[in-house]
């Protein structure tokens, strides 16, 4: 379980959480980072005003979107629907074996081929849950919703993903399972309210996701890095979604605490301080942090909270977005925060644009709208799936912009 306010590990029923963990994982010191909100400060946050109000609310209005897609004449959306309604084979999806043995993943840079081999099942899981959820939305056929519940129940009965290796200098399995949890939870949130006659399966999946979220989030992470940076925002994403699904107020508030922490981390320029430490990838990580924060905030907003207008020390999430757009357009805007020679490879990969679909569904931002157009339709296998299908206003863009063929290396499942 989580400690008071959903932050920090405590024992649950005397059961050992991690078979493959060394003791150092639990001895990570709780000390202040240079700027970001500390563990102590997060624990002292009074988030009691935030409670789960709508456990069946997904991260978008599913029925409203299904109705829209059945009536739309938007060629881009119609093409996505046509491709999806051909339907995956449920039997083939069910053949993917649950990961019930210890998960251990080497670092990418020392061993890229070994890393690719080790992460393939993780990719497959995320694509499977997102594909089944997307097919349900496109087809309005409950068969695919039931298939997704059955698929997740198979993993729940195997108690999959509960055993992963973690050491402070080898966190890859911990990082990798982050996205598996929120991929499962977000896809499940789309279909669960539509499924009838599967009460036992749903109860098992609910319990499994809740155990996974508590176990995974009980690791505090590295000081001035995964404790408080984009990896915290990733953990917050699954905590919020699972908190909603299982009406777990501690998990829900853990997820909300990340928004407060992120806003407190903003510099005068509205850069995330911890992401600026990435040097030539500072721009990428400013955007990467927004990917998980905006998606998390969308789930919170669907519970009735005006989280997008939350202000901490005079800063809102809109300020962080403005700065991201500024440095994407002109790296010189980074000033002394990071080198001006910035990595721009992420701008060729649509998954890093998924948060923009959410934001544009709520706010008018012409610069953002122009930036995302060449990347549509946007798909993020873990953080939401078919984001253009779920969020894009049909009047925003009717056709895919054809780009010159370009080889993009298979994207890593997580960032170090």
Is 27 a residue whose pLDDT tops 90? no
* Higher per-residue pLDDT: 220 or 310: 310
- Class of 18-24+50-391 per CATH? mainly alpha
- Whole-angstrom distance, CA of residue 381 vs CA of residue 373: 19
pLDDT of 414 reads 57
Segment 198-210, tens digit of pLDDT: 999 999 999 999 9
Over residues 291-319, the mean pLDDT reads 98
pLDDT at 111: 81
The pair phi, psi for residue 312, each rounded to 5°, is -125, 120
Q: Is 189 helix (H, G, I), strand (E, B) or coil?
A: helix
Question: Residues 195-239: pLDDT tens digits?
Answer: 999 999 999 999 999 999 999 999 988 877 888 899 999 999 999
Q: Is the pLDDT of residue 157 over 80?
A: yes
Which position has the higher pLDDT, 193 or 6?
193
**Which tokens belong to 74?**
């938007």
Confidence of residue 11 (pLDDT cuts 50, 70, 90): very low
For residues 339 and 88, give the distance between their C-alpha atoms in angstroms, rounded to a whole number. 45
10 vs 394: which has the higher pLDDT: 394
* Domain map (residue ranges) of the chain: 18-24+50-391
Q: In the chain, pLDDT over 70 holds for what percent of residues?
A: 88
| Ramachandran class of 204: left when φ > 0, alpha when ψ lies in -120 to 50, beta otherwise | alpha
Contact partners, residue 18, CB within 8 Å, separation at least 6: 25, 163, 164, 166, 215, 219
User: What integer pLDDT is reported at residue 223 of this predicted model?
Assistant: 76
pLDDT at 28: 33
Residue 5 has pLDDT above 80, yes or no: no
Mean pLDDT score of the chain: 89
The greatest distance separating any two alpha carbons of the chain, rounded to the nearest whole angstrom, comes to 59
């Amino acid at each position: 379980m989580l400690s008071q306010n959903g932050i920090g590990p405590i024992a649950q029923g005397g059961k050992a959480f991690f078979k493959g963990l060394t003791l150092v994982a639990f001895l990570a010191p709780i000390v202040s980072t240079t700027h970001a909100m500390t563990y102590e400060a997060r624990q002292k946050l009074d988030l009691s005003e935030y409670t789960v109000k709508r456990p069946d609310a997904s991260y978008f209005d599913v029925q409203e979107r299904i109705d829209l897609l059945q009536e739309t004449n938007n060629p881009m959306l119609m093409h996505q629907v046509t491709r999806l309604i051909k339907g995956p084979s449920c039997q083939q999806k069910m053949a993917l074996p649950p990961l019930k043995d210890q998960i251990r993943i080497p670092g990418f840079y020392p061993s890229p081929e070994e890393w690719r081999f080790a992460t393939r099942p993780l990719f497959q899981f995320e694509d499977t849950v997102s594909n089944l959820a997307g097919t349900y939305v496109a087809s309005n056929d409950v068969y695919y919703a039931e298939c997704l519940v059955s698929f997740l129940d198979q993993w729940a009965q195997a108690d999959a993903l509960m055993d992963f290796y973690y050491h402070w200098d080898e966190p890859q399995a911990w990082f990798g399972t982050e996205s598996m949890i929120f991929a499962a939870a977000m896809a499940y949130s789309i279909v669960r309210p539509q499924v009838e006659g599967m009460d036992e399966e749903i109860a098992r999946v609910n319990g499994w996701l809740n155990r996974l979220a508590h176990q995974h989030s009980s690791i505090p992470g590295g000081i001035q890095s995964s404790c408080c940076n984009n990896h915290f925002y990733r953990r917050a994403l699954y905590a919020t979604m699972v908190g909603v699904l299982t009406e777990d107020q501690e998990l829900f508030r853990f997820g909300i605490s990340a928004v407060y922490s992120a806003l407190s981390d903003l510099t005068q320029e509205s850069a995330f301080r911890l992401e600026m430490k990435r040097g030539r990838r500072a721009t990428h990580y400013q955007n990467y942090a927004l990917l998980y924060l905006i998606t998390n905030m969308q789930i919170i907003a669907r519970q009735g909270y005006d989280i997008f207008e939350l202000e901490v020390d005079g800063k809102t999430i809109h300020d962080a977005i403005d700065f991201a757009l500024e440095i994407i357009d002109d790296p010189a805007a980074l000033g002394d925060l990071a080198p001006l020679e910035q990595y721009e490879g992420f701008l060729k990969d649509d998954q890093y644009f998924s948060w923009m679909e959410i934001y544009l569904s709520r706010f008018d931002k012409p610069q953002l709208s122009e930036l995302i157009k060449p990347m549509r339709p946007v798909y993020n296998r873990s953080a939401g799936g078919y984001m253009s299908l779920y969020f894009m206003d049909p009047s925003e863009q009717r056709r895919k912009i054809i780009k010159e063929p370009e080889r993009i290396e298979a994207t890593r499942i997580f960032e170090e």
